[in-house]
Amino acid sequence: MRHIIKHLTLLAMALLLAACAKRLDLAPISSVGEGNFWQTGDQVEAFVSGLHSRFRTHVQRFLYLGEMRADIHGTDPGTNSAFTGESTAGNERLWQNTLTLDAPGVSGYGGFYSNINQLNLLISKMKTSTVMTTSNRNYYLGIAHGIRAFYYFQLYVSWGKVIITTEPTQEFDISNLAKAASSEADVLKLIKDDIETSLTSFGSDYSFRQGKGYWSKAASLMLKADYHLWLAHRAGGTAGAGTAKAALVDIQTNIPALSLQSNFGNIFATTNRGNSEVIFASRHLLNEATLPVQQHTPQNAFIINFHDSAQRRRFDATDNWGGPYFLSMRSSTFRRFNDRDTRKWATIQPCYTLSGTTYRLSGVFPSKYKGEQAAGVRAYTNDYIIYRHADLLLMLAEAKVLLGENPAAEINAVRQRAFGAAYVAATDAFPNKPGDSNAKDAILEERYLEFIMEGKRWLDLRRFGDSYVFRFTNIRAAEAYKVLWPVDRNTLTNNKLLEQTPGYPKF
């Protein structure tokens, strides 16, 4: 149900409650009733808080768009269900890449336009606001343009041509908006302009707010690097790579407190939020909001039939992962790690059958987000990290490779943290590992191991070039159109000016 807020007093109440709401489903608003809103700094702060709460409702879509179609998830060969016997409930279309307008994987452009419209409203208000200090007004403009650029970048890399809207409107619904999609060139220009406007608005303010739960200048610089690396790979030149490198070095220079956590698992711990590695994270807290990852874990009724070989124990009711396991993970993902790599055990939970004294791997599921136990129930209250320092290092390594420079320092910093005391430079350091002869492949593999369940892998393959998609997924060059997502039937039905993504059957 769409709730159309036609009076800003109601909007203020809704936004003030956003921090404790598990789902904020408000239709965007216009300037109606502005005599009751935008009158104090506290009201603006409530609105900005609401924007981040709405952003939080989209993290599942970021995960779907960024990872679920790549070579991480799926069922093991010979079966069409999870190792526990649980159904994949149609989600196999994601990793099988058999999406259609009736099974699009993600519909309504992820629901992103609802928050884009709110961002448009904040931008329009901040241009003339006099109810706060100049520094706060500029900071909020930096947030608004940065998040809007992030949304449009997600839209661009997923659908290519999408609708551009930069003015706030009342009763906004993308499927009923009689407007055609803009060209990819125009979408790219909007993203670039928004990034630069965000950085200009932040100025010299590199501070983090709300425990790194608010967008910041560092987040905009990370997005700038991401954007320009995307262009650099496709153009085959060095200009974009140089711009990306400069953005990343800017963060290193001006925020020296950012660093890798010494223990990989601690990055995601609910007791270690906003730690030294985090650049921007979507915040989840007990009794406020939970990370939507239950569908990545088995039901207790099934998992109790298996063993944890590392702990030498059988799973029991206290494990309460929650299930149902609709979004399964391949055992090959677990086997891809070196046993000495701590990321293996902090990211994935293996499940074994026990025959006598012999453990046999039956299947796996992701356990990066362990949440916390509350009254005997597991609550997935981990923050969903959008950008962190390891991402900065590996993107910097990527930029260096494109520029013909040596990426060893950045790659090895990530590897050394991953292997800890078991790190052996002679065999683990770049360029000594098998596969390191191709630096791009080495970086791509390191990103695979580092960022599982963080919505990076599919976008990494796309950024490095569609040949990597063909190499690591079941999409082949003859069906290259599948690298983009189809537009769903409802959106095409209600907006007659939209067209289906080229290559998919026309609507």
The pLDDT value given to residue 17 = 36
Residue 123: exposure state from Cβ atoms within 10 A (0-12, 13-18, ≥19): buried
Query: Is residue 11 pLDDT above 70, yes or no?
Result: no
Q: pLDDT-based confidence at 113, cuts 50/70/90?
A: very high
The pLDDT value given to residue 31 = 41
Q: pLDDT-based confidence at 169, cuts 50/70/90?
A: confident
Q: pLDDT-based confidence at 172, cuts 50/70/90?
A: low
Question: In angstroms, what CA-CA distances link 211 with 78, 276, 281, 285, 375?
Answer: 46, 11, 9, 12, 26
**pLDDT tens, 397-451?**
999 999 999 999 999 999 999 999 999 999 999 999 999 999 999 999 999 999 9
The pLDDT value given to residue 9 = 32
The pLDDT value given to residue 265 = 96
Higher pLDDT, 68 or 79: 68
Every domain range in the chain assigned CATH 1.25.40.390: 3-67+107-205+488-494, 216-289+388-475
The pLDDT value given to residue 239 = 87
Q: Which two tokens stand for residue 84?
A: 């526990």
Q: Determine contact, residues 43/12, Cβ cutoff 8 Å.
A: yes
The pLDDT value given to residue 234 = 86
- Strands in 367-461 per DSSP E: 372-374, 377-379, 384-388
CA–CA gap between residue 153 and residue 498 (Å, rounded): 19
Output the pTM of the full model.
0.93
The pLDDT value given to residue 13 = 34
The pLDDT value given to residue 501 = 98
CA–CA gap between residue 190 and residue 153 (Å, rounded): 9
CATH architecture of the domain formed by 3-67+107-205+488-494: Alpha Horseshoe (1.25)
- When the pLDDT of each residue in the chain is averaged and rounded to a whole number, the result is 92
CATH architecture of the domain formed by 216-289+388-475: Alpha Horseshoe (1.25)
Q: Determine contact, residues 18/53, Cβ cutoff 8 Å.
A: yes
% of the chain at pLDDT higher than 70: 92
Q: pLDDT-based confidence at 22, cuts 50/70/90?
A: very low
**pLDDT tens, 363-385?**
999 999 999 999 889 999 999 99
Query: Is residue 20 pLDDT above 90, yes or no?
Result: no
The pLDDT value given to residue 176 = 67
The pLDDT value given to residue 428 = 98
Would the CA dihedral through 181, 187, 191, 197 be positive or negative? negative
**pLDDT tens, 252-305?**
999 999 999 999 999 999 999 999 999 999 999 999 999 999 999 999 999 999
**pLDDT tens, 187-208?**
999 999 999 999 999 999 999 9
Least confident range of 167-176, 319-328, 387-396: 167-176
The pLDDT value given to residue 175 = 62
Q: Determine contact, residues 75/81, Cβ cutoff 8 Å.
A: yes
**pLDDT tens, 34-58?**
557 899 999 999 999 999 999 999 9
The three-state secondary structure class of 348 is strand
**pLDDT tens, 323-366?**
999 999 999 999 999 999 999 999 999 999 999 999 999 999 99
Question: In angstroms, what CA-CA distances link 309 with 216, 297, 313, 354, 359?
Answer: 42, 18, 7, 9, 7
What's the average model confidence in pLDDT over 146-155? 98
Q: pLDDT-based confidence at 174, cuts 50/70/90?
A: low
Q: Which two tokens stand for residue 414?
A: 């990530």
Residue 2: exposure state from Cβ atoms within 10 A (0-12, 13-18, ≥19): exposed
The pLDDT value given to residue 32 = 38
Q: Which two tokens stand for residue 502?
A: 């080229």
What's the average model confidence in pLDDT over 100-124? 96
CA–CA gap between residue 109 and residue 116 (Å, rounded): 12
Which residue bears the tokens 């904040």?
122
% of the chain at pLDDT higher than 90: 86
The pLDDT value given to residue 237 = 76
